[in-house]
Homo-oligomer: A and B are copies of this chain.
Amino acid sequence: MSPDAPTTPRARARAAFRADLLAAARARIAAEGAAQLSLRALARDLGVASSAVYRYVESRDALLTLLIVEAYDEVADACERALAHAAARSATPGQTWLAVGRALRSWAVEHRHSYELIYGTPVPGYAAPRDTIAHATRVWAALATPLVDAHARGELGPSPADGRSDGLVAPLAIELARSLPGAGGPATAQAGSSEQVAALVVRSCTLFEALLGAVAAELFGHLTNVAADPARAFDITLASVAAGVGLRVELEG
């Protein structure tokens, strides 16, 4: 687990308390949301003076950063599990996209406040440290995999993005996309010109945005009194936006 197991009693106690602190924070966020998270309340939960908390965490924002990274990893794990499961079933790219999207939605519904933490309104004076972006990228990579896979198979249909993607994507992002491991094997996406990669990145961003929008709309209540069956409506939305970027999704039923 940990890179180095603490040996001295003091270090052991420190690690244990820190773990308790994080657990308490997770619990409070799950119960009340990140905005309500108070270090004083956490201190009370742990039966300790409020100032003692600052021995273990630099500030409230630092604690939130830790939990943000955890949340990114959790949702990325969920998406990658869905990806692996779909691959094991030899699912089509369309089915895989549906599975990944559903996984993200399920996680969001189940961990509503964690979802808000990472994809909701940014905390007021808070700027995401560099640490977080690597974890955030994992999610995007998982979402993009079905698209890249379909492209590799030559199954990708036309899209309004065709021929309009040059210069749209930052070079750094293209570099990053190239370095991603493909779904069907090692580095499927490496093949292709910069323009092809850019076109895929643009398409994947559209998918990413639409997916987050659909989840956010449902979670934040913009669909209450409209959608009678949110889960099915979500599937249709997934299929529709996929169709818009040339990815065919076969909806059963």
What residues make up the interface of A, taking CB atoms closer than 8 Å to B?
A: 32-33, 35-36, 116, 119-124, 128, 133, 136, 159-161, 164-165, 167-170, 172-173, 201-203, 205-206, 208-214, 216-217, 220-223, 225-229, 232-233, 236-237, 239-245, 249, 251, 253
Contacts and interface: CB of A to CB of B under 8 A. Distances in A.
A209 B227 CA distance: 12
A235 to B, nearest CB: 9
Nearest to A121: B120
Contacts of A173: 225-226
A244 B213 CA distance: 15
A127 to B, nearest CB: 9
A189 B12 CA distance: 68
B225 A133 contact: yes
A128 B128 CA distance: 29
B213 A160 contact: no
B223 A205 contact: yes
B32 A168 contact: no
Q: Quick one: copies of this chain in the complex?
A: 2
B212 A208 contact: no
Given A35-B35, A121-B120, A213-B216, A236 B169 contact: no
B164 A236 contact: yes
A172 B123 CA distance: 35
A251 B160 contact: yes
Contacts of A32: 124
B205 A170 contact: no
Contact of A210 (B213, B220, B249, B253): B213
Nearest to A177: B226
Given A32-B124, A170-B225, A170-B228, 7 more contacts: A33-B124, A120-B120, A160-B239, A160-B240, A164-B236, A164-B253, A206-B240
B212 A222 contact: yes
Contacts of A216: 119, 209, 212-213, 216
A135 B209 CA distance: 25
Contacts of A208: 217, 222
